[in-house]
Amino acid sequence: CGLPVQQVKIRQSTSSKSYEFRPTASAFPLYEDLIAVNFNGEAGRLIDQAGFTRRPVRRRILLNMWDFNEVNPETAAMYRHFDEIWCPSEFVLQSMPKSCRTKVVPINIPLEDPANFAGITKSTMGIPEDFIFLSIFDGGRFAGRDNPLAVLNAYLQSFQTTAGTRLVMRIVNGTLSTRLISQMRYVAQGRPDVTFVEGASYQGEMIGLINAADCYVSMHRTTAFGINMARAALAGKPLIATGYSGNLAFMGDLGLKVEYSLQRVNEDDSYAPEHAQWAKA
């Protein structure tokens, strides 16, 4: 929309739970900080060490992509550092603690125009001309939240090798979930109609896969929004997805909502609040 933007890079250290922050408190010619960060225990250090709290004249906005139905006390305390908190779904809005005094703003997530990708086909994406069920799994987003093994098991139980269908599982950040991926490959042994695609990703490839596929599948336990599900919905692809959390913001009647029951997360996700729940499909 023509606004000036300056991106601040944060270096990540070799440890998966330890970060190195560069001071960024220099005099940028901008008036607002829009911060998009997973609000785990590192976010407080980001706010303090990267210099955001030392620029009182600048307005700080948090793009809140919190995945759980409640927040822990540390996260709630972090909200006070912001002038506005942007929430992409009713699910995220409902997770905000009643004690929060910061202005909360519901927003719409902008998506790419599917008309720009109309020419993408299975052949251009290098996948067979079968009926393609696509599922995208981010190994860095914690396996429990995306729940890709449930997608694989559901497909194997529903289709035979000769059905003319194929499950394509696109794995992002696979090195962060090697045990789960090994388990999935073991489960899929003897099924040539299951394809695992790993490696570095870029936005155009993800959108291309979604536009080439025939159906998008997500058996997630919880998500703040579900960007790839939203892209599939915008492209007119049928969805099979857990009927819970942020994807309800756009899913409507576009697909099949998988039934679920709520269960305590407990130790299955180290960043989940003590009493948080997620879906069990």
Of 21-25, 48-52, 126-130, the one with minimum mean pLDDT is: 21-25
Instruction: Report residue 122 CA to chain centroid gap.
Output: 24
Query: CB-based contacts of 181: which residues, under 8 Å, 6+ apart?
Result: 139, 171, 174, 196, 198
- Which tokens in the block code for residue 60? 């700080």
The sign of the torsion formed by the CA atoms of 69, 75, 77, 78 equals negative
Measured CA to CA, the distance from residue 172 to residue 201 in angstroms comes to: 7
| pLDDT at position 21 | 46
Band (269; pLDDT cuts 50, 70, 90): confident
Measured CA to CA, the distance from residue 208 to residue 232 in angstroms comes to: 10
Measured CA to CA, the distance from residue 41 to residue 48 in angstroms comes to: 12
Going by their DSSP bridges, the two strands 84-87 and 59-63 should be labelled as: parallel
Count of CB atoms situated within 10 Å of the CB of 203: 9
- What is the per-residue pLDDT across 85-113, written as a single tens digit (0 to 9) for each? 999 999 999 999 988 999 999 999 999 88
Average pLDDT value for residue range 35-60: 64
Query: CB-based contacts of 224: which residues, under 8 Å, 6+ apart?
Result: 64, 65, 66, 67, 88, 89, 91, 92, 245, 246
Report the predicted TM-score, pTM, of the whole model to 2 decimal places.
0.86
**What separation in angstroms does the CA of 223 have from each of 200, 226, 245, 270?**
22, 6, 6, 16
| pLDDT at position 258 | 96
Does the pLDDT of residue 150 top 60, yes or no? Answer: yes
Band (50; pLDDT cuts 50, 70, 90): low
